[in-house]
Amino acid sequence: MITQKDIKIADFTYSLPEERIAKFPLKERDKCKLLIFKDNKISEGVFSDVKDLLAEDSLMIVNNTKVIPARLEFFTENGARIEIFCLEPHFPADYDTNFSSKTSCQWKCLAGNLKRWKNFNLKREFPYHDKTVVLTAEKKEVSGGEIIAEFSWNLGLTFSDIIDLAGSIPIPPYLNRKAEESDSVDYQTVYSHFKGSVAAPTAGLHFTENLMKELKCDIASLTLHVGAGTFKPVKTETIGEHSMHREFFSVSQETLKKILKNIGKITAVGTTSVRTLESLYWFGVKILSGEDCLEISQWECYETKTSTTPQEAINAVLFFLQKKGLQTFKASTSIMICPGYEYKIVNNIITNFHQPESTLLLLVAAAVGQRWKDIYRYALDNNFRFLSYGDSCFLSTVKMK
């Protein structure tokens, strides 16, 4: 029997010329082009038109994560440049606790030029007011292409202060350029709040503060810290052989109650919001079956048979929090959303145009079926800009079950 695992990634490709990749955003965020796929028809407008697409009695959910300056540059005594790319906290593992550390902390990282980093610590000095910060990086473990690095520093600053002072914004590799000062603003959503992402939830980059005020729909937020795995290419022939990246998220009771109230009329801004919302359904299913596991694996949503309604699932998550005396649901997900997946929570998706043969394109195809080819062909034929700093699309054909 053919399953989702047999899907060939080569069936989800298209030709993307380099010149169609937007290297920088437009000056006015909400003036980018918007492709609208509604009632099985394709049309276009400008992004600010979303205010007319979102009904007053509906809910829009955004990811309020904030991109951290995750790239830290060091030099060895011999002058070799080593860049450490912080991926996620290792110890303390909690983001808030780690960022609040005042002497040392450990992170899971990637390291450029790792072979030049022998058994010695890296040191870097930089000014802070009239004093000097000394930042040290010690290599604790090496596993495959990743390392555990322990950072230590002086002056009683928090690690959040340290990376703000010493780090640089990790713009996507496909932009083929170095980060500029403007990226520290351009590569953040106007509603970003909680630090932790190493990539922006780029669908939200098109919103301005004024546009947010003009929206008539209700708005809620969740937090999913976007990892570098979002750029991980699918290098296997079938997606069953691809290992999906894990991402951490948190959703408040307030947002869960808004979701429950608006089942059937929910718009998710970005694939990260989609992944979180759909994962919430499966956590509800697990809770109702007696499981107390706070992780969704890559394929379990396809392997689990259930007749649980979205309302029952979200109610289960709310009951779980109330029983535990918690205000926020915190968990992680490696969910793979691909053709054949039946959306449970999300009705509409606001998203950018994604890379060929990517898991994000599979997520879109799960929503619109084979019409993804027509959508992307229209965008290519009508001068839409692609990827993180590119244009946007509104997909309103997600079928609920």
Express each pLDDT in 247-274 by its tens digit: 999 999 999 999 999 999 999 999 999 9
pLDDT at res. 401: 40
- What's the CA gap between 262 and 345, in Å, rounded? 9
Residue 212 has pLDDT above 80, yes or no: yes
The single-letter DSSP state of residue 103 is S
Express each pLDDT in 354-377 by its tens digit: 999 999 999 999 999 999 999 999
Rama region for 350: left / alpha / beta (φ>0; ψ in -120 to 50; rest):
beta
CATH number for 4-67+186-395 (one of 1.10.3720.10, 3.30.70.20, 3.40.1130.10, 3.40.1780.10): it is: 3.40.1780.10
User: Which residues lie across from 238 on neighbouring strands?
Assistant: 8
End-to-end CA distance of the chain: 23
- What's the CA gap between 351 and 239, in Å, rounded? 22
Return the higher-pLDDT residue of 230 and 33. Answer: 33
Where do the domains of the chain lie? Answer: 4-67+186-395, 71-167
Express each pLDDT in 188-198 by its tens digit: 999 999 999 99
